[in-house]
Amino acid sequence: MKIANGTLIMAVDGSKMLILRNEGDVRKPVLKAVAHERVHNLQTAEQGSDRPGRSFSSSDGRRSGLGDTDWHTQAEGRFVIEAAQTLDTVQKDLAAEVILVAAPTVMGTMRKHLSERVKDHILAQIDRDVVNQPSDEIAKLVSAYEP
C-alpha cells in the first residue's frame, strides 16, 4: 500500500497510542509523531481486591455468584475510546486520510467509537499490534500491506 504525503497512521493497543503522519513521499515514507499517549494500566489483582458479589433469586431463594470485575480490561476499553476521540480531533484539524493499525480486539472497539467523518477517511484497517515498533518498521508494515 502506498502511503501518500500527509496520511495519518494510528497504531494503538490497550495502553499506548501513536498517531503518525507521513512527512515523506510515496516512495520513501517518513513518519513523524503527531500525537502519542501511554497509560500505566495495572493488572486487575492490583486494582481491586473485593470478592465478587452474590445474587439472590426472589422467587425461590437460590443464590448465585457473580463474576469478578476485570478492571484491567475495562481500563483498556476506556483508553481505546479516548484514542478514537483523539484521532477524531487530529483528523479534523489536519483533514487527512487515515490508516488504522491495531490488534483485532482493539480494532473492534475502535470501529464502534470512530466518528462518521473519520470512517469516511479510512484507507485501510490492519489487524496487527505494532504500537511498540519503531516508526520505520510501522511504515514497512503498512507499505507491504495489500488490501
Q: How far apart are CA 73 and CA 9, in angstroms?
A: 24
Q: How far apart are CA 26 and CA 48, in angstroms?
A: 49
Q: What is the pLDDT of residue 32?
A: 96
Q: How far apart are CA 68 and CA 64, in angstroms?
A: 13
pLDDT, tens only, 100-142 = 999 998 999 999 999 999 999 999 999 999 999 999 999 999 9
Q: Is 120 left (phi over 0), alpha (psi -120 to 50) or beta?
A: alpha
136 domain residue, yes or no: yes
Predicted confidence band of residue 8 (pLDDT cuts 50, 70, 90): very high
Over residues 13-22, the mean pLDDT reads 92
Buried b or exposed e, range 57-73, using 16+ CB within 10 angstroms: eeeeeeeeeeeeeebbe
65 domain residue, yes or no: no
44 domain residue, yes or no: no
Highest mean pLDDT among 34-38, 74-78, 96-100, 130-134: 96-100
> In this model, does residue 42 exceed pLDDT 70?
no
Q: How far apart are CA 93 and CA 24, in angstroms?
A: 19
131 domain residue, yes or no: yes
127 domain residue, yes or no: yes
When divided into structural domains, the chain yields a total of 1
Q: What is the CATH number of the domain that holds 136?
A: 3.30.420.60
> In this model, does residue 21 exceed pLDDT 80?
yes
Determine whether 145 is exposed, middle or buried from the number of CB atoms within 10 Å of its CB (0-12, 13-18, 19+). Answer: middle
2 domain residue, yes or no: no
Q: How far apart are CA 147 and CA 139, in angstroms?
A: 15
**Partners of 10 in the β-ladder:** 19, 100
For residue 18, the enclosing domain spans: 8-38+71-144
- Mean pLDDT over each residue of the chain, to the nearest integer: 85
Q: How many CB atoms lie within 10 A of CB 49?
A: 7
97 domain residue, yes or no: yes
> In this model, does residue 48 exceed pLDDT 60?
no
Q: What is the pLDDT of residue 73?
A: 79
104 domain residue, yes or no: yes
| Cell numbers for 40 | 500505566
Over residues 34-61, the mean pLDDT reads 66
